[in-house]
Structure 1
């Protein structure tokens, strides 16, 4: 396959448990320590730990009226979008119809839905808030970003479970390559810290139950892994066609070279045991970029610390990178799993790794359990010279997505 036109990353905006700006986030990520803590919002549930965004005040960001209208997943996404636009020095008003918004949301925060369904279940339909739907439907975060920024191009959300953020970035790239727009604000936003989300995942035995030692709870690719830790956050990337970025003199932070997606067609919640779907997505991304496995110098793995998921992903990576798998990190070990936003956050962290030529460590890896060992970065950040990096995501329904990012 002939590689398609390259797309530039010209801006980043992040709101994560590790911080709200690139320098602070990178300092926290390279420290290599988990941010999981007891969560008072989850008190009395079977699993009461999470990685939460701190130091974030919606009232200060938006004022009372807008803050009250939005649910937390939209708060996070809107702030990330504002910061990405500012980082890119993007003037949307010049041609707003050529600026699209494509964001990934796995579901939503579920917080408002739980409150309103409770009122309905109590036989109080007239107490249900008229804002229940516009606060909660996943598409509203993209709509609110457009309202806030004035972007009038294509506008929608993508939902592919925990691959949503990665899929959104890939779809955004396709919009640019097709000529439908010149710029896309893309990424993902989600908070998994609702009591309903926590209860459901606990019942599925997907969460780590090391609640007495939360900082050791998430252990990707380790023999002692037993599930993920709930997280939250948002990341928005400004993507532009190369011509548009160059015409306006934008600072190109990275190139989005390739995108691949696939379905396991296997099981509602379990990955294919051999990781065939994940492998297919990675190979498609390489093919799309015109790259070989040997060109890749770093992998930001999906790495949720579930027994089946990590095994399947490791098998896929070891089949693709047969000669010398590049250094791998699993950043969910530090900031938890933000579900639909996770892939977008990890793509942004991959851009930062390319810029800094440094790979953050995986926390809590004591003894690797992947059959054949991969080169997983642990303990401390690793300086590495590399030009191309891979970021992977997998989700319920067997949905897989992969991105190839390259240094400018």
Structure 2
């Protein structure tokens, strides 16, 4: 089959997650296969009082961001740190590049929920004059893309897609389109989220989305397990540097992998429930493979959305078994890192690239074997050596958003 879209080179990665600051730290954490969920003092007294937080303190994060950190919400700070790492990894220099040809596309699902709660408490307890004049820029989701573009002197197209838990993947797909349309030469693309707050946690708990294993936080997230009962709130950011393959070759940059296809569809079904049968998600998968010039049988590996919720995992397992019956290896990083919401698609895309590059598939935490009704090949207990030539990364979001990204070996 002939590709219908030109390949895009992934020349840089940046990650900030519960696994640590930097792509290497996160990669080592997911390969270790141990959940990073732990008690969260911010959530004390709630029905769910654990999460996957960054190991760095707020002071350490502010120090790393620098003098402008005071004006940023936590989600924007994480995006800036991930973007800086990705740019360094790509061998690019924001002080010398042509900023008008650099796009920033950073998805975010919720924005600064903790700042909203903090400022509302000030209003309620002390009156309007005690509310920060920075309240709005501290909370609105597009300020991640805005602060990244400011920090990197990137004057090109800047977008902030919000497709819930698919936001980071949507951002990468949009960035690919900008490059294909010659609207930029470099795209800084990914997602960020720092939405662990009392209200957001209660909101997800009330809708039945969170695991209730308060006595076993580290064993709570168990994607594709028979006794899964929900996800674990998490925070983080993932950024990829994308360039046209020919441009990367011209500057002698060695791609980590190639982004060869993107598929996006809508279930048009329900605000929060995936459509039974996963036909919209399957259409997104086939679109991504068609763009890449690949057949389903070419897929060696799936980085699953794998939220550890009963319905999502069942729907996704149905999709994988039907569309990819040759049983490619399957992993789901949320077992280790928790669910980073709007950042998840970008973090998992980066981990998919690393899987291709390292020829190693990380295991799914807290999983001995998939539920008996799931006919999928889940990697469990320890990393699996595998020469992965083609991999797909699934991302699904509330509202029925389906995004599939196809990556191939460079």
Under a length normalisation based on structure 2, what TM-score does the superposition of the two structures give?
0.96
Residue matched to 2:337: 335
User: Could you say if the C-alpha distance between residues 23 and 116 of structure 1 is closer, same or farther in structure 2, counting changes exceeding 3 Å?
Assistant: closer
User: Could you say if the C-alpha distance between residues 3 and 364 of structure 1 is closer, same or farther in structure 2, counting changes exceeding 3 Å?
Assistant: same
Task: Choose from 370, 373, 376 the match for 1:374.
Answer: 376
Residue matched to 1:347: 349
The answer on 1:227 being equivalent to 2:235 is no
- State whether residues 329 and 360 of structure 1, in contact with CA within 8 Å, keep that contact through their aligned partners in structure 2: yes
The answer on 1:185 being equivalent to 2:182 is no
Q: How many residues align?
A: 406
Deviates further, 110-119 or 120-129: 120-129
The answer on 1:395 being equivalent to 2:400 is no
SS in 1 for 2:83: helix
Question: How do residues 204-215 of structure 1 correspond to structure 2 at under 5 angstroms?
Answer: 204-215=207-218
Residue matched to 2:53: 52
Residue matched to 1:245: 248
Question: How do residues 307-318 of structure 1 correspond to structure 2 at under 5 angstroms?
Answer: 307-318=310-321
Residue matched to 2:155: 152
Q: Which runs of 5+ in 2 are unaligned?
A: none
Deviates further, 128-137 or 20-29: 20-29
Residue matched to 1:83: 85
SS in 2 for 1:186: strand
Q: CA deviation at 1:2?
A: 4.7
Q: Which runs of 5+ in 1 are unaligned?
A: none
The answer on 1:270 being equivalent to 2:273 is yes
Distance in structure 2 (CA, Å) of the matches to 1:351 and 1:220? 21
Distance in structure 1 (CA, Å) of the matches to 2:22 and 2:374? 37
- State whether residues 186 and 238 of structure 1, in contact with CA within 8 Å, keep that contact through their aligned partners in structure 2: yes
Q: CA deviation at 1:26?
A: 2.1
- State whether residues 314 and 370 of structure 1, in contact with CA within 8 Å, keep that contact through their aligned partners in structure 2: no
Cα deviation 1:96-148 (Å, max 9, x = unaligned): 10000001101113011112233344572222211001111111111111111
Distance in structure 1 (CA, Å) of the matches to 2:145 and 2:23? 23
Distance in structure 2 (CA, Å) of the matches to 1:143 and 1:344? 18
Residue matched to 1:386: 388
SS in 2 for 1:94: coil
Distance in structure 2 (CA, Å) of the matches to 1:21 and 1:62? 14
Distance in structure 1 (CA, Å) of the matches to 2:341 and 2:291? 26
- State whether residues 9 and 245 of structure 2, in contact with CA within 8 Å, keep that contact through their aligned partners in structure 1: yes
**Superposed CA RMSD:** 1.4
Q: CA deviation at 1:41?
A: 1.2
Distance in structure 2 (CA, Å) of the matches to 1:58 and 1:364? 30
SS in 2 for 1:158: coil
Task: Choose from 257, 260, 272 the match for 1:257.
Answer: 260
- State whether residues 273 and 308 of structure 1, in contact with CA within 8 Å, keep that contact through their aligned partners in structure 2: no
SS in 2 for 1:10: strand
Task: Choose from 127, 135, 140 the match for 1:124.
Answer: 127
Distance in structure 2 (CA, Å) of the matches to 1:308 and 1:12? 32
SS in 1 for 2:129: helix
Under a length normalisation based on structure 1, what TM-score does the superposition of the two structures give?
0.97
Deviates further, 333-342 or 124-133: 124-133
SS in 2 for 1:116: helix
Cα deviation 1:298-339 (Å, max 9, x = unaligned): 1000000111101111111111112x1200001100000000
Residue matched to 1:406: 408
Distance in structure 1 (CA, Å) of the matches to 2:134 and 2:19? 31
Deviates further, 364-373 or 262-271: 364-373
Task: Choose from 188, 194, 199 the match for 2:197.
Answer: 194
